[in-house]
Structure 1
């Protein structure tokens, strides 16, 4: 808000308004203790927060054996687009994607997700026959529980937690009854190499836990969502935003008014009812046919 990236005069929901002056006063008190003005204090706070978030991204990518340079960051939530490009660039990612309905994307995902029942059981075995037997039992139990909830099962998935004998941690591997121990071992060795950088194909493995998930049909499908119809003037002038040591003028855009193919060049702020996306200088957002913002630099 103090950095100008969120509209100080915007209205959220039916009657919630932001108090920009109160935010400035709070940062002025904090900044005084550090020898910083309110904008410098705000910029420092954002820098610290984004570095913490970047660390979390490294833990779920680099530390898990995945190369973030080969991926784009999907930024959603009300503030995901405000921090997204800074985080993606810290990890040298290929770009950023801001989906349609970004601010309520998790809620939308809940409606689009199928109802499911999950069952798991510890087995501690090295025999495929025992794994198949346990999975068969839980397949039936998961389906019955889903039906008891008033949902007809349409798919049943199964997996097992596997480790090298003597290890203290497991990896979850997809497994269908009848796949066989050799197939399971091959999948585990490949996944272990991918996640941990090495595998020991000559070592014995054991199954620690069997898992089953029964899924029904979702409440809502993508095809049932309303068509994208741009509405309203997309251009909303400019406003001062803080980037680096001093403010600059950034263009302001209304996302619901941007048609597929529209292009926005940073510095820019792209606003929508539930979220805001911020583009630094040189960053470019293009509206995909799906309505998502594809951002590169």
Structure 2
């Protein structure tokens, strides 16, 4: 730390930031905001254990860096003022924050049925627990968002089939997830 060049420290962190922002700029999805966090991996000279020290900005001074390291190290309830601190790595994370996604819109709301009966493709016999049960087969993407389904039932979609056994109960949430409560056969 005694020989740390503060100008070089700031230049490295700013280069990290610029490279990260440039890479994000090449992505097809444009972020709503960009979040930048800097940190330093540090240790006392002679130690092998490294402590990650969050930095408030890229404009950190040697004195502030030393103070932040000592504060982070004190979590071990040890002060070692006679041993020199060592800067090992500088880290920067540049994160593009996308707008929130309304998951309920992954399935076109206009394609959803108004009732559970309208989402039913067919009723077929299915073997559960040693007996045949007439089982409704629902088109998953047509289920109303507020659907409550009592088993037995089958939910079919392009990439999966969900089977509700007799006694099971399923409901869809506001995002269109299916939450299943497993019952007793």
Structure 1 alignment gaps of length 5 or more: 1-126, 190-198
The 3 A distance-change label for structure 1 pair 137 and 222 is: same
Native 8 Å contact 1:159 1:212 kept in 2: yes
Q: 1:155 maps to what in 2?
A: 34
Kindly indicate whether the alpha-carbon contact (under 8 Å) linking 1:160 and 1:211 is maintained by their aligned counterparts in 2.
yes
1:161–1:286 Cα change, 3 Å: farther
- 1:271 and 2:156 are equivalent in the alignment: yes
Greater fraction of residues in strand = 2
Name the counterpart of 1:212: 93
- Give the Cα–Cα distance (whole angstroms) in 1 for the partners of residues 127 and 79 of structure 2: 58
Assess, with a 3 A threshold, how the Cα gap between structure 1 residues 140 and 242 changes in structure 2: closer, same or farther.
same
Q: 1:166 aligns with which of 31, 44, 48?
A: 48
Relative to total residues, which structure has the larger helix share, 1 or 2?
A: 1
Q: Count how many residue pairs are aligned between Structure 1 and Structure 2.
A: 155
Unaligned runs of 5+ in 2: none
- Aligned partners of 2:54 and 2:127: how far apart in 1? 48
**Post-superposition shift, 1:174?**
6.5
Instruction: Indicate conservation of the 8 Å contact 2:38/2:54, yes or no.
Output: yes
Q: Distance in 2 between matches of 1:210 and 1:216?
A: 19
Match of 2:137 among 252, 255, 266: 252
- On the 8 A contact 1:162/1:188 being kept in 2, the answer is no
- Larger-gyration structure (1/2): 2
Equivalent position to 1:141, from 8, 15, 19: 19
Distance 1:262 1:174, change over 3 A: farther
User: Which structure is higher in RCO with an 8 Å CA cutoff and minimum separation 6?
Assistant: 1
Q: What RMSD over aligned residues (CA atoms) do the two structures have, in Å?
A: 4.8
1:284 to 159, 169, 181: 169
Query: Equivalences for 1:184-263 in 2 at 5 Å?
Result: 200=76, 202=78, 208=89, 210-215=91-96, 222=102, 227-229=108-110, 230-231=112-113, 233-235=118-120, 236-240=122-126, 249=133, 251-263=136-148
Any conservation in 1 of the 2:137–2:154 contact (CA below 8 Å)? Answer: yes
CA contact (8 A) 2:42 2:69 kept: no
Give CA deviations for 1:129-187 in whole Å, capped at 9, x if unaligned: 6866532221123224444x38777413325475875348x87x865426965668878
Contact 1:175 1:184 in 2 (8 A): no
Q: Secondary structure at the match of 1:291?
A: coil
Deviation of 1:262 after TM superposition, in Å, equals 1.3
In the TM superposition, 1:107-122 aligns within 5 A as none
Is the alpha carbon distance of 1:140 and 1:275 closer, same or farther for their aligned partners in structure 2, counting shifts above 3 Å?
same
Change (3 A) 1:234 1:211: same
Q: How does 1:7-46 map to 2 (within 5 A)?
A: none
